[in-house]
Amino acid sequence: MKCDVCFRECEIREGASGFCGARTCTDGRIAAGNYGMITSLALDPIEKKPLARFMPGSMILSAGSYGCNLRCPFCQNHEISYGPGVKEMKEEAVYLDPEELAGRAASLVPRGNIGLAFTYNEPLIGWEYVRDAAACSKKLGMKNAVVTNGTASLRVLGEIAPFIDAMNIDLKSFSDECYKSVLGGSRRMVMDFIQEAFSAGIHVEVTTLVVTGMNDNETEIRELASWLASLDGGRGRDIPLHLSRFFPRFHMTDREATDVRLIYRLADVARGILRYVYTGNC
C-alpha cells in the first residue's frame, strides 16, 4: 500500500514500515505504528518550542514519539528520530491513549500548563495520534501546538488543523539542492505546508538552523525572509522567524559552530524584511 503522508509516498508491504520507521501496513491499511507510543514527556516553557509570540510566559506539556521522514545529519534528537538508538527507544516507549495524555496535560494546569505540544521527533508521521489527542485536549479547554519539519501533505494538515492553535515549522534551507542532497527532503512541500497553515489561521512561527557552510549566507536568509513576508498579500511580515545557532552534532562534526556574530548579522538582514526575528542558541 502507498503512504500519502509526505513526498516519499512509500510503498509499504504488509507488516513492514516506511522510510520514517513509523508508518506501517497492517491488514492492507496504512497506519501509524507509533500511535500513542511516547518516548519523551516534559513540561516545557512555551518559548522552548520555540514559540515567542504565542502565549509567552506559559508552560506546555510536550510529548514525543519516535521516527522521522528526514535525515538531517545534525539531528539533535537522533535517539528518537533515526539512527542506532531508535530501536532501543521504541522498546522503552510507553503507550498513552489520547484521553490519558490530555488528562495529564489538564492535571498540570495549576503549574501554568496551557495544553499539549507534539514535538521532539517528527510528530506528523503519526498525525492520527496528534489529531486524536489534540481533540481531547480541546474538549478540556486547552491549547495545542505542533513542532514539525513541515514535510507533510496538505491532507494531513487538513486533518489536524481544526485542533491546532500554533505551529513552529522548520524551514531548514531556502535551497532545493540542500533539501535534496543534505536533508533528504522537499523544500516545496515545506513551503506549501507553511503557506497553508498560515492561511488557515494557525499561529505560525518558522525556525531556520543556520549551519556553517550550508545556509549561513545573507543571500539565502534574505530570500527566505522575503518569501515569508510575501505570504497572504504581505501579511506574512508578521510571521516570527527564529535563526538558531548550529553546534556540531551527530553525523555533522566536520565544521565549527556558527559564529555568534554571523547569527546577529543575519538576524539584522531578516529584520529589514520581517517584523519579528529572534536568535537562538547564542
- What's this model's pTM, rounded to 2 decimal places? 0.97
Query: What's the average model confidence in pLDDT over 149-153?
Result: 98
- Is the pLDDT reported for residue 266 higher than 90? yes
- Tell me how far the alpha carbon of residue 210 is from its chain's centroid: 16
pLDDT digits (tens, 9 = 90+) for 112-145: 999 999 999 999 999 999 999 999 999 999 999 9
Q: In terms of Cα–Cα distance, which of 72, 80, 97, 73 is closest to 21? A: 80
For residues 62 and 51, the answer to whether their CB atoms sit within 8 Å is no
- Alpha-carbon distances of 46 from 141, 158, 206, rounded to whole Å: 17, 24, 14
Strands, E assignment, the chain: 23-26, 29-32, 37-38, 40-45, 59-64, 94-95, 113-118, 143-148, 166-170, 203-210, 241-245, 277-280
The CA-to-CA distance between both ends of the chain, in Å, stands at 45
Distance CA 22, CA 221 (A): 33
Structural domains of the chain, ranges and CATH numbers in brackets: 23-280 (3.20.20.70)
Torsion of Cα atoms, 221 then 227 then 233 then 235, to 10°: -40
**CB neighbours (10 Å) of residue 178?**
17
Q: Which pLDDT tens digit goes with each residue over 153-193? A: 999 999 999 999 999 999 999 999 999 999 999 999 999 99
pLDDT at 185: 96
CA distance 265 to 229: 19
pLDDT at residue 87 is higher than 90: no
pLDDT of residue 86 exceeding 90, the answer is no
Question: Which residues make beta-bridge pairs with 116?
Answer: 61, 144
218-234 and 187-199 helices cross at what angle (nearest 10)?
Answer: 40
Number of helices followed by number of strands (H, E) in the chain: 9, 12
Question: C-alpha cell of 262?
Answer: 554571523
